[in-house]
Amino acid sequence: VSATVLYMSVSLDGFIAGPNAGPGNGLGDGGERLHEWLQLRRADLGSGVPGRPAGVNGQLFDEFMATGAVVAGRGTFEPAGGWGGDHHNGVPIWVLSRQPPGIDVSQWPLVSYANDVKRAMTDAKRAAGEKNVLVHGAATAQLALAAGLLDELELHVIPVLLGQGRRMFDNLGPAHIALQRTRMIEGEDGVTHMHYRVAR
């Protein structure tokens, strides 16, 4: 069955970007450390397509590149240059935003801006068919979790304490969200891939 799956690289202390993240600095100061396992450096952000790592880490890369649609936040999509309009394999991309596009997307038929998380997730799931939906971005994940629209989480835990930055989990309510651990993989370079299903 198709699932909406959050894929995020996160420091052990829970940050997905360094401090001062924003336009022109999408990973935040020092945030490229979190993406070294994908061979994604700050200089690559414009082109946007991460590299496939070797070994077990490559298996995870293959997994999220096999998804059938993408739902990402504007804060993820735009600093990455919109992935040139195609994240992978021509699958459709929904960009969650309450504002009009901050970059020119008029030539990118795969890209839709949406301001409603439920609508975006529903449309993406339908478009993905039998495949999973790749969910990306902290704000998007928080909205999807709060709305009960996120099915699974895959966190790539990087062996570093960033100390400061943008947190993966923030702004949630006090209600507990129970999880089931479904898979744990010790990847190369100390990266641990933790997979959970949201219990409902």
Nearer to its own copies, 59 or 180 (CB): 180
117-128 and 138-146 are packed helices; what angle lies between their axes, rounded to 10 degrees? Answer: 100
Grouping H, G, I as helix, E, B as strand and the rest as coil, residue 8 is strand
Placement of tokens 């507990």 in the chain: 176
Q: How far is the CB of 84 from its own copies (least distance, A)?
A: 30
103 to 23, 49, 77, 79, 83: CA distances (angstroms): 11, 18, 10, 9, 12
Q: How do strand 69-73 and strand 133-136 relate by DSSP bridges?
A: parallel
- Work out which of 3, 25, 29, 112 binds its own copies, going by CB under 8 A: 29
Residue 63, interface with its own copies (CB under 8 A)? no
The whole-angstrom separation of Cα 4 and Cα 86 is: 19
In the complex, least distance from residue 104 CB atom to its own copies, rounded to whole angstroms: 34
Check residue 33 for interaction with its own copies (CB under 8 A): yes
Question: Is the CB of 43 or the CB of 175 nearer to its own copies?
Answer: 175
147 contacts its own copies (rule: CB under 8 A):
no
- From the CB of residue 20, how many other CB atoms can be counted at a distance below 10 Å? 13
Q: Is there binding between residue 3 and its own copies (CB under 8 A)?
A: no
Of residues 25, 116, 16, 130, the one with CA closest to residue 67? 130
Out of 18, 23, 63, 88, the residue judged to bind its own copies by CB under 8 A: 18
Question: Is position 181 an interface residue for its own copies (rule: CB under 8 A)?
Answer: yes
Please say which residue, 13 or 44, places its beta carbon nearer to its own copies. 13
Under DSSP, is residue 132 helix (H, G, I), strand (E, B) or coil?
coil
- Which residue in 1, 43, 186, 200 binds its own copies (CB under 8 A)? 186
Give the total of residues touching its own copies (CB under 8 A). 37
Element (H, E) at 85: none
Binding site for its own copies (CB under 8 A): 12-14, 18-19, 29-30, 33, 145, 153, 155, 157, 159-164, 167-169, 172-181, 184, 186, 190, 192, 194, 196
